[in-house]
Amino acid sequence: MPFLQTKGPLTGKCNICGETKKLTEDHVPPKGVIKMSSVSLSHLATFGQAKNSRDFQQGVKFRSLCKSCNSHLLGSLYDPALVVLCNKVSNYLQTNLALPSTTSFDGQPDLIIRSILGHILALGVLREPNGEFYELAAELVLNPDKLILNDLKVYYWLYPYQHQVSIRGCGITTQMGTPPLFAAVLKFVPLAFMVVYKPNPGYQFPHLNMVDSLAAGNNLIPLDFNKNNLPPRDYPELPDEAGAGAVLHGEDSYVAVLKPKVIKIR
């Protein structure tokens, strides 16, 4: 597995618009959804091998986006909606009060989906959008008025774990002889997102699809959440405990874990 490369050149092709410009660093997950801490980043294939990890002091960053895509689109237009939703969900999970297992919070799914797509595209260095899914994702980020159609599924669920997982693309098979399902994943406290493109109708997921909540404009829409029957921490990036299926990862599949604090004794 090659060395973890997260810093693109000072000037290069943006991972979203594909134009050659000065590149800036994008936080994955974005700033505001979690408290940025010291983390150790590894490729999923070499997770647990210290020599193949890379440390970050203020969260994982990829120098892969131009300033316009990073600051103007993600930072100013899309990310605030994701931050607001994550803060509501975090407060729900952290309260000591007895709360129902199912609830809903108002959110802006159109903006949240575009935020998730933008940060998925930001993964890796010099990964201009090539291929049907990545070209569509880039179009949706670059054009806020472009409709999000049902070819795209954005599944989401509560994620109360510290491991941060970011996957630009992987192939998932549930049984031998079936074609792999393409998926991209972002997971961080308190939410997990799995983006699936043109899935086979035979694939059934037990998760809510945020695309189903879309409405005209950027109005606030109730988004449902359920604390019961949450998937395991390592779903979907690892095969299930029974060994069924397989997951085929590309080069840009990462996991970040919090670094333990070192206490200095004087």
What pLDDT is stored for residue 266 in this prediction? 41
* Gyration radius of the chain over CA positions: 18
CA 42 → CA 127, 166, 207, distances in Å? 19, 11, 27
Contact of 155 with 172, CB cutoff 8 Å: no
How many beta carbons lie within 10 A of that of residue 149, not counting itself? 10
Q: Which two tokens stand for residue 230?
A: 């949450």
* Average pLDDT for the chain: 87
d(CA 166, CA 121): 10
Residue 217: what pLDDT? 60
Contacts of residue 3, Cβ cutoff 8 Å, sequence gap at least 6: 52
At 216-233, the pLDDT tens digits run: 566 889 999 988 888 999
What is residue 165's predicted lDDT score, i.e. its pLDDT?
95
Q: What is the mean pLDDT of each run of 10 residues along the chain (266 residues)?
A: 80 96 95 80 73 78 96 96 95 78 92 97 93 96 94 94 93 75 94 93 85 79 89 86 67 84 42
What pLDDT score was predicted for residue 216? Answer: 57
Dihedral angle of Cα 57, 59, 64, 70, to the nearest 10 degrees: -120
Nearest to 65 by CA among 103, 15, 20, 19: 15
Question: Whole-prediction pTM value?
Answer: 0.91
